[in-house]
Amino acid sequence: MTLNSFNFNTTPGLRFGSGQAKNSCKEISKKLGPRILFITDKDLMSLELTTPTIEELKKNGSVEIFDEVEADPSLKTLLSAIKIGKKFNASGVVGFGGGSSMDVAKLVSLILGSNEDLDTAWGVENAKGPRLPLVLVPTTAGTGSEVTPVAIITVGEEEKKGVSSSIILPDLAILDPDLTLGLPSVTTASTGIDAMVHAIEGYASSNKNNNPISKMLAIEALKLLGGSIETAVLQGSNIEARGNMLIGAMLAGKAFANSPVAAVHALAYPIGGTFHISHGLSNSLVLPYVLRFNSIDVKAANYYAELAPYVFPNLDINRGTQAVCSEFIDKIENLSKRLGLPQRLREVNIPKNACEKMARDAMKQTRLLVNNPRELTETDALNIYQSAW
């Protein structure tokens, strides 16, 4: 195999284990300094999931809490967090929660550390930095945001913009499976499918930085995720399954952080942006249809067939590439059904006449579409949405 040049960047520090969110606080305080801006959401605060960590951090310095983060966080929310961080004179930032809280924390640390113009930071490798010291603590096993250089914000009513830069990779990621024990089954399912999408798209990405490290991580992620997701959904208190999901999501995050995702995400963004469907569910709704579209491409079909036995060990891999690829996609779709997730856009109250606008909006996601293994036009996007409806 001919190896092309590639870059691989990732979060330098990672701590895993039950109780790590509290037990790592001395190290967190040492990294972040005496004035910590703690970014989270109101649900986690009301569940008191944040309490042990905040109380422990307060033993070592001052903590200012910003708990206004919502799903698909808005520019207004981000700017509000930045304002509070400046007033507090934060020395470091913690992002505690799902992908939304971690994404806000990344950009707050960037702007507080550099005071750069956010408008010039959007896009790939446009952020200049430096950022403030940053620690991320995920409470869902899905986004992998704790190890990715990407932060997504909803700008205006519907459009999503992203900053993609190795500068916003955190100093430390804390993976504590105890924090995921209370996740509802539907959230566990949708975020778990999201993590699987990250691994599948990262493995098959046409990005020139697709590399053997990302491929290896994607495979290991899918072994863990495929082997644990049903147990985690059906037996929410199973700490081993929760831990496997958390590590799997992190490995998938490392994979797609360096071999970026593609059309599944591009088509998912208008679903979330316009209809406020969660990111994981948005991905799940279009996943089998995008994979079937891509599988016409021989190279993509090969990639999906290669991944098939890692997710579904009982799948017969001796029936030819296209047959294995087709069964892999069918099994992914059936897994989503078994997990109890909605299967059609109409099931989440998206009208059929919205498909044309979503197709137009999806084409704005050029940074993602360029990574798709098969070129996708607006007409293709429309056909996929209509099939998913």
Specify the length of the chain in residues: 389
Pick the closest to residue 310 from 243, 238, 218 (CA basis). 218
Extract long-range pairs of 309-317: CB within 8 Å, 24+ residues apart: 310/219, 310/222, 310/223, 310/226, 311/196, 311/222, 311/223, 311/225, 311/226, 312/226
Q: Which CATH class name applies to 183-388?
A: mainly alpha
Query: Is it true that 13-179 and 183-388 share their CATH fold?
Result: no
- Cβ distance 12 to 153 under 8 Å? no
Q: How far apart are CA 72 and CA 377, in angstroms?
A: 26
Query: Would the CA dihedral through 187, 162, 151, 88 be positive or negative?
Result: negative
Task: Please classify residue 88 by burial: count the beta carbons closer than 10 Å to its beta carbon, then call 0-12 exposed, 13-18 middle and 19+ buried.
Answer: middle
Q: How far apart are CA 15 and CA 345, in angstroms?
A: 38
Give 1's Cβ-side CA count (13 Å radius): 5
The two three-digit tokens of residue 256, written as one number? 């797609």
Provide the residue ranges of all domains of the chain, joining segments of one domain with +: 13-179, 183-388
Helix axes 279-294, 321-338, angle to 10 degrees: 160
Owner of token pair 């930095």: 129
How far, rounded to the nearest angstrom, does the alpha carbon of residue 74 sit from its chain's CA centroid?
Answer: 17
Q: Which pLDDT belongs to residue 103? A: 97
pTM of the shown model: 0.96
Partner residues linked to 172 by β-bridges:
13, 135
Which one-letter DSSP state was computed for residue 74?
B
How far, rounded to the nearest angstrom, does the alpha carbon of residue 129 sit from its chain's CA centroid?
Answer: 22
Instruction: List the chain pLDDT tens, one digit each, 389 residues.
Output: 567 899 999 999 999 999 999 999 999 999 999 999 999 999 999 999 999 999 999 999 999 999 999 988 999 999 999 999 999 999 999 999 999 999 999 999 999 999 999 999 999 899 999 999 999 999 999 999 999 999 999 888 778 889 999 999 999 999 999 999 989 999 999 999 999 999 999 999 999 999 999 999 999 999 999 999 999 999 999 999 999 999 999 999 999 999 999 999 999 999 998 999 999 999 999 999 999 999 999 999 999 999 999 999 999 888 899 999 999 999 999 999 999 999 999 999 999 999 999 999 999 999 899 999 999 999 999 999 999 99
Q: In CATH terms, is domain 13-179 a member of 3.40.50.1970?
A: yes
Helix, strand, or coil here: 173?
strand
- How does DSSP assign 16-52, residue by residue? ESTTHHHHTHHHHHHHH-SEEEEE-BHHHHHTTSSHH
